[in-house]
């Protein structure tokens, strides 16, 4: 199993996972922003996973090549998602990924005005402002970036045809749309030189149906109080539409990044259900 994430809070989770699931857990220590910008992290993760899934390496670590899971949460969930998308298009790799486990992954940078972003704009843990600042640091040194994102005017000219792939109004189940009215992002308002805004390596939701249809069994965990919730609900629908087997756990009273807090006493309760769900799913499927 390869697990993808960004910092040491996760050590406990990974140790726990290794013991509980009796798995080899590989953690990719990818290079992070602001020092390393898009797409450095994606290359790091891609290279590490590709290397680890070579037959000789799997044998060396005693890993059963039919029992591989790619996993990650939040930004790491984006990397897990895109690396799985890429891997299935490499013939000698495609049979090796049995499943992907995505914990509230970040999946698109196209539209920042989904219902879940509006509902959870001020957090609690991940606010819209934080997400935009982190996203901009990953993309550019241009200080105007957050301002353009806040107004949903960051997409480059000529990218409108991509909107249907992330259009929440098409893909969200009714109960999550509530009374929100879809408004499309505005294009061509700023310097189109920001790398990646139309790239599936930044927004895995931009993969088209053909690119999604051969994905392996997918586990997606979403939290109600999370600005990213609609990214994931959109992915669930898009995967189901092309016949990918999806197991979706939606947790009503949980917030983004709750799994990270399972180590601290105060948040123990918040993290524990998520961890239990994630681990028991791995136990059953690996
Ligand atoms: C988004 O979806 C709605 C239907 O729910 C449609 O009316 C609208 O044209 C779509 N917009 C884009 C840009 O895909
Ligand atoms: C999907 O994307 C791939 C890769 O960019 C492209 O080759 C293919 O033609 C696209 N398929 C459709 C149906 O748009």
Q: What is the pLDDT of residues 210-221, one digit of tens each?
A: 999 999 999 999
72: Cα separation from own chain's centroid: 7
Q: Ligand 2 pocket, 179 CB below 6 A?
A: no
In terms of Cα–Cα distance, which of 35, 155, 17 is closest to 73? 17
Alpha carbon of 207 to ligand 2 centroid (Å): 8
Q: Which ligand is nearest to the CA of 180?
A: 1
Q: What is the chain's mean pLDDT, rounded?
A: 88
* Model confidence pLDDT, tens digit, residues 106-162: 999 999 999 999 888 887 778 889 899 999 999 999 899 999 999 999 999 999 999
203 is catalytic: no
Helix (H) or strand (E) holding 246: strand 246-255
Alpha carbon of 168 to ligand 1 centroid (Å): 8
Tell me the Ramachandran region of residue 36: left when phi exceeds 0, alpha when psi lies from -120 to 50, beta otherwise.
beta
- Tokens, residue 151: 């107004």
Looking at residue 4, what is its pLDDT? 47
Q: Where are the domains of the chain?
A: 2-108+201-285
181 pairs with which residues across the strands? none
Ligand 1 atom with minimal separation from the 170 CA: 5
Q: Ligand 2 pocket, 240 CB below 6 A?
A: no
Query: Higher confidence at residue 5 or residue 125?
Result: 125
- If you classify domain 2-108+201-285 with CATH, what class do you get? alpha beta
Q: Is the pTM of this model over 0.85?
A: yes
* Model confidence pLDDT, tens digit, residues 233-268: 999 999 999 999 999 999 887 666 555 544 444 455
Catalytic, out of 3, 71, 74, 116: 74
In terms of Cα–Cα distance, which of 108, 273, 105 is closest to 199? 108
Q: Which ligand is nearest to the CA of 85?
A: 2
* Residue nearest (by alpha carbon) to ligand 1 atom 13: 163
In terms of Cα–Cα distance, which of 70, 82, 117, 57 is closest to 200? 82
Alpha carbon of 234 to ligand 1 centroid (Å): 14
Looking at residue 53, what is its pLDDT? 95
Alpha carbon of 257 to ligand 1 centroid (Å): 30
Q: Ligand 1 pocket, 159 CB below 6 A?
A: no
Looking at residue 15, what is its pLDDT? 87
């Amino acid at each position: 199993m390869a697990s993808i994430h960004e910092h040491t809070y996760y050590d406990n989770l990974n140790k726990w996972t290794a013991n509980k699931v009796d798995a080899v857990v590989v953690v990719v220590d990818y290079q992070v922003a602001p020092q390393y910008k898009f797409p450095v992290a994606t290359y790091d993760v891609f290279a590490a996973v590709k290397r680890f899934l070579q037959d000789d390496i799997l044998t060396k670590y005693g890993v059963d090549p039919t029992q591989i899971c790619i996993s990650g949460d939040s930004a790491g969930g984006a990397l897990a998602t895109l690396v799985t998308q890429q891997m299935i298009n490499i013939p000698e790799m495609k049979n090796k990924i049995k499943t992907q486990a995505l914990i509230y992954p970040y999946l698109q940078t196209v539209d920042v005005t989904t219902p879940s972003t509006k509902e959870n704009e001020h957090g609690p843990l991940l606010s819209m402002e934080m997400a935009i600042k982190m996203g901009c640091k990953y993309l550019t040194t241009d200080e105007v970036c957050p301002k353009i994102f806040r107004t949903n005017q960051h997409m480059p000219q000529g990218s409108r045809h991509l909107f249907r792939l992330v259009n929440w109004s098409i893909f969200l189940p009714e109960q999550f749309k509530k009374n929100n009215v879809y408004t499309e992002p505005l294009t061509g308002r700023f310097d189109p030189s920001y790398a990646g805004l139309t790239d599936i390596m930044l927004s895995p939701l931009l993969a088209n149906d053909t690119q999604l249809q051969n994905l392996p069994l997918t586990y997606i965990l979403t939290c109600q109080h999370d600005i990213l919730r609609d990214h994931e609900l959109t992915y669930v629908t898009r995967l189901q539409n092309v016949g990918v087997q999806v197991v979706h756990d939606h947790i009503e009273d949980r917030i983004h990044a709750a799994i990270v807090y399972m180590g601290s006493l105060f948040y123990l309760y918040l993290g524990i259900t998520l961890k239990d769900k994630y681990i028991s799913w791995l136990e059953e499927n690996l």
